[in-house]
Structure 1
Amino acid sequence: MKRTSFGRTFGAGLSAAAIAALMLTACGSDNNAPASSSPDASGSGGAAADCGGKNSVTAEGSTAQQNAIAVFNQVWSQKCAGKNLSYNPTGSGAGREQFVAGNVDFAGSDSAIKDEQAAQAAQRCGGNPAWNLPLVFGPVAMAYNIDGVDGLVLNGDTLAKIFQGQIQNWNDPAIAALNEGKSLPDQAITPIFRSDSSGTTDNFQKYLQAAAPQSWTKEAGSEFQGGAGEGAQKSAGVVQAVQATPGSIGYVEKGFADQAGVPYAQIDNGSGPVELTDESAGKAINSAKFAAEGNDLALDLNSLYGTQEAGAYPLVLATYEIVCSAGYAPETAAAVKSFLTVAANDGQGGLSAAGYVPLPDQFKQRLLASIDAIGSTA
């Protein structure tokens, strides 16, 4: 997978301490996340954390989860004095490669490890499979610039046709049917897409494949395939382009839209319009199915992006921590489990302010069971 740049802009509200910790432990990042108020990094859990294992853990990969990792690291160091995660946000593909090579303790990735690379990972893990643990979720907003239109409603079908150039005007009958009672202008639509290689683009196109399989005739991938509109570099560029272009619409991380004060559309998933909130994104996460039984929690993305559950906002990015199910040295296994457990419990308190979605309880319990099952060599 190509190196993604969307995660450098995913979080929208880290504390100064969290950013400082990340900058001390990570290299090669060009984080351009907007500034915001500090999250409550203390989290919500009150129980004492299991702080076993070595003090320093290493990880590399997804830039999408970079700012969430900073929040988790801050909380872990508070709960477990002397503990620190060194996370290098070089992109998902690089993270998986470094994990397979045994150069880091786990990888962050915006896609599950699979096929030949999964077989290589099993060799690295002493003959044991690697597990995909979805720990960080972030919603994507459909930001728009239409004067006088509040509460715009769109669905997968209209979005697919807009970003392929088949719907070109805001008063198109298909859009009007979703927005009864609203006065839509006779105005050209300008789709704004990411011109750089982007995991946001990949997941947006995967959403269109799942939600509008008859209308979206293109493929997914880190490069935009739709063929309509104007490109902009990185998430900050998408927001700026939407702000500067009347009649435009673009896909961008919620934190950026909020920071810029740009409105974003509700999505009708087939059960009525849904506003983007932590609660509605959490409902989509809870509706997601896993690709298989057991402790490997790779997601069936069609079940996430194609959900029709009432009140579920479907356009949510999932990123994984890729770990050895067994085969770690005991000190490493204990430390990896400690970090991930704190992240899934106490670390959730700071995520909303940083532009992510806290894990819903039902999903979190399944995740914690897998984390607890991580083993080690004798």
Structure 2
Amino acid sequence: VFVPPPLSFFLLLFGMVRWHTLLFFSFLLMVSASPAAVPEDSPVATEKDDLRPTSLVARQSAPTPAPVGILEVDRRVYSFISAGSTLVAPIIRQWMYSYTILQPDIIPVYEGGGSGSGLRRTYANTVDFGYAERTPTDEIAKRVEPFPYVAASVLVMYRNPEIEEYLDSIRNDEGDIPPIDPDNYLVLGRDTLGRIFAGDIMYWDDPAIIDDNTPGLAEVNGGDLFTHTEIIKICRAESSGTTLVFTLALSDFSDFFSENVGGVSTFPSSLIDRDDFLTATGSSGVVNRQVDLDYAISYSALPSNIDTNNPYALIPNRKGQLETPETTNPKLRSLFSDLNFNNENINFRGGQLAVDLNTSGIYPIIGIAYLLINEKVDVDCPARQVAFRYLRYTLLPNSVIRNIGLSAQYIILDNEVASDVLSDLEDITCEGESVLAIVIIDNHESGFFPALLALSMASIIILIGSGVYYVIKIPGVRKTSMIRFTICLLLGGFLCLLVSIFFYLVPDEDYICQCRVWLTAFGLTLMVTALAARNWNLLQIFLRRKDFFTYETSERDINILMGVIFTLQLALLIAWTAADMYESSLRTEDDLNREFTWECSSDDVTLWLALEIALFAILILFMIVTVYFVWKFSADIVGHKYTVMSIYNLIMIFTIMIVIFATTIEDDEGVAIAAMTSLLVVTWSTIFLNFHVTLLTMGKVSNSLSSNK
């Protein structure tokens, strides 16, 4: 008995080292070292392994889901809870952990417990969803709907030191066994496997096993690999979908098994009292017990065996072929898509894809894990929405975590089948609303809008008042050209102000988007055309003043030019609307949380933008030419030659910017602000340009300018 050194010294010092004294102190030591009793109501893990991959265990940047197997959890702590099949436990754990990295505020938990637990708890609504490798019974099916989710091969694992030593000797430098060959694998015939788990074949050197491996391992070293050692069978202790799939396989493989053992109701329960049958809880429990027990044989899903790498036997398929699960998975994914889970060649007894696909190159034992949804739940809807958003992410074709499933040797549903499942999930409601309903974000409100609207209205009022005063009260004005200029400028400014209101509205209707395009295009066309016409009038005034020549048809020609520009703009807008309508659509803001916002979009917006810019380029080119001549012949406006050109250039720059903003920018609020800002610059600069001469004429200019008012 171990006694701590200080205690031994104390006992020796006082001469009390007798056998009964040592026994007494050893008893005290063992009691003090024993773990404290666990309260009956405390959570207890039923599986000891952390199923996260090694690379993820070290990462602590996101909340870690609770270990598989916790019996009770506080629903106030976790965002959503699921339970059930341990066949999918490794991949569900990895998916949940990866999801928490993308969504740090989400804390999921997967409790495992087996397929029976998943069915019962989904039915009782103690979890948000569950998993099982079998479909519900008629009673449970009244509430619980199964959806195909993932699949995995079920291995027949074994431990045989002699066979393993030989296989280690033939491995290549990378540690891989050479290609499939009876000499490189243990082979167990279909009937042989059934008779082993029925308890009929009890020893490794049974003639049936020898025959299955001849030619093959039975001929290596004169048959010494197969010794007269009892075969220990390890089975699942609890209700398990993996056991169901494996039992269905044994029943199809072996008449002896089906006649003498029966089905899942009697296997393994009718055999576990035998000395050569052991049980373990959960897939990880079976795998870990298999590691430590020589001459044992058991069954488990392929992904559960990746870390321990127990050797497994090959089972002939329906066509007598030997195939490994690793080479089968890609073929099965393609096959699932083609068959769409409904084909006479697939055994769907009870809803399980179990054995004997009538197809070449397929491993014979496959288990499907079904996603279980209780469709009758109308409580705690926010939590259900969070849970279903996670499920949606696992089914998206481009989801990163689907690749995790492939690397973990799971058979992931084909994109087409996954889309069908996702479509069914979208039909599930909670309190009358779809659990995958999208969230519309209204990001169009702005505190700047009322102030800008008031400022724009004030600018228009000032412009109207100044225009009316200029046309009516001031003598000697070319009223025809000024009325045309003032009306076009005011109408264009009003349309720009109006379109800014449509930019402020949420574009959830096509007419709002159409108003944005049409009002922007016509408003800018009116304003730019009015400015171009005004430049032409100024040029005519200076030409006449200098007695260069008189252009008698200038008014008619400028009206024709404006008509042509308006006609081209109308034709362009009609073509745009007919061929590629600028319409409302939803833009994804946060795909994981199903958050969207309304926007206006067009398939070929770049093309139509280029045509709009080309049309405005014609006007701008005309303005540049006329501005140059106005500057050239406006020597009477002393000191204002550069001011005139600068103001007009500023106007041109803003008109181009508003066209670009109105068609390409994603922030509708920004478009509204840009539109009204452009309107303010255009109106105020126009007021300064066209009315400063009038103000100067009213007694604020020298006598040399008074005759030229």
* TM-score, normalized by the shorter chain, greater than 0.5: yes
Q: Specify whether residues 275 and 248 from structure 1 end up closer, same or farther in structure 2 by C-alpha distance, changes over 3 A only.
A: same
Aligned residue in 1 for 2:534: none
Aligned residue in 2 for 1:269: 317
CA distance in 2, matches of 1:233, 1:26: 14
SS at match of 2:369: strand
Q: What 5-or-longer segments of structure 2 have no aligned partner?
A: 1-44, 73-77, 168-183, 434-709
Amino acid in structure 2 at the alignment position of 1:88: E
Q: Specify whether residues 168 and 87 from structure 1 end up closer, same or farther in structure 2 by C-alpha distance, changes over 3 A only.
A: closer
CA distance in 2, matches of 1:220, 1:337: 32
- Equivalent residue in structure 1 for 2:355, among 291, 305, 308: 305
Aligned residue in 1 for 2:540: none
| Deviation, structure 1 residue 225 | 4.7
Aligned residue in 2 for 1:82: 105
- Equivalent residue in structure 1 for 2:93, among 70, 91, 97: 70
Amino acid in structure 2 at the alignment position of 1:220: V
Q: Is the 8 A contact 1:98 1:107 kept in 2?
A: yes
Q: Is the 8 A contact 1:337 1:374 kept in 2?
A: no
CA RMSD of aligned residues (A): 4.0
Structure 1 residue ranges (4+ consecutive) displaced by more than 6 angstroms after TM superposition:
5-10
1:102 aligns with 2:151: no
| Deviation, structure 1 residue 104 | 3.2
Aligned residue in 2 for 1:202: 244
Q: Specify whether residues 264 and 208 from structure 1 end up closer, same or farther in structure 2 by C-alpha distance, changes over 3 A only.
A: same
1:374 aligns with 2:428: yes
Q: Is the 8 A contact 1:291 1:299 kept in 2?
A: no
Q: Specify whether residues 81 and 204 from structure 1 end up closer, same or farther in structure 2 by C-alpha distance, changes over 3 A only.
A: same
Amino acid in structure 1 at the alignment position of 2:323: V
Aligned residue in 2 for 1:230: 277
Aligned residue in 2 for 1:211: 253
1:220 aligns with 2:264: yes
- Equivalent residue in structure 1 for 2:215, among 181, 184, 206: 181
Aligned residue in 2 for 1:348: 402
| Deviation, structure 1 residue 153 | 1.9
Q: Is the 8 A contact 1:352 1:358 kept in 2?
A: yes
Aligned residue in 1 for 2:583: none
Aligned residue in 1 for 2:186: 152
Q: Is the 8 A contact 1:136 1:318 kept in 2?
A: yes
1:259 aligns with 2:259: no
CA distance in 1, matches of 2:208, 2:376: 52
Post-superposition CA distance 1:93-133 (Å, at most 9, x none) = 444344333343222333322211222x2xxxxxxxx3202
Q: Is the 8 A contact 1:11 1:355 kept in 2?
A: no
- Equivalent residue in structure 1 for 2:371, among 318, 321, 340: 321
1:21 aligns with 2:68: no
SS at match of 1:96: helix
Q: Is the 8 A contact 2:91 2:408 kept in 1?
A: yes
Q: Specify whether residues 270 and 173 from structure 1 end up closer, same or farther in structure 2 by C-alpha distance, changes over 3 A only.
A: farther
Q: Is the 8 A contact 2:156 2:298 kept in 1?
A: yes
Higher relative contact order (CA 8 A, sep 6+): 1
SS at match of 2:390: helix
SS at match of 2:188: strand
Q: Is the 8 A contact 2:90 2:304 kept in 1?
A: no
Q: Specify whether residues 274 and 289 from structure 1 end up closer, same or farther in structure 2 by C-alpha distance, changes over 3 A only.
A: same
| Deviation, structure 1 residue 245 | 5.3
SS at match of 1:267: coil
Normalising by the residue count of structure 1, what TM-score does the alignment of the two structures yield? 0.70
Q: Specify whether residues 205 and 187 from structure 1 end up closer, same or farther in structure 2 by C-alpha distance, changes over 3 A only.
A: same
Between structure 1 and structure 2, the one with the greater Rg is 2
Aligned length: 334
Aligned residue in 2 for 1:143: 157
CA distance in 1, matches of 2:351, 2:332: 11
1:165 aligns with 2:199: yes
Normalising by the residue count of structure 2, what TM-score does the alignment of the two structures yield? 0.41
Q: Is the 8 A contact 1:198 1:223 kept in 2?
A: no
Amino acid in structure 1 at the alignment position of 2:298: G
* Structure having the larger proportion of residues in strand: 1
| Deviation, structure 1 residue 167 | 3.0
Q: Is the 8 A contact 2:115 2:239 kept in 1?
A: no
Post-superposition CA distance 1:255-312 (Å, at most 9, x none) = 45443343211121122001121x41454574587579xxxxx975565323232222
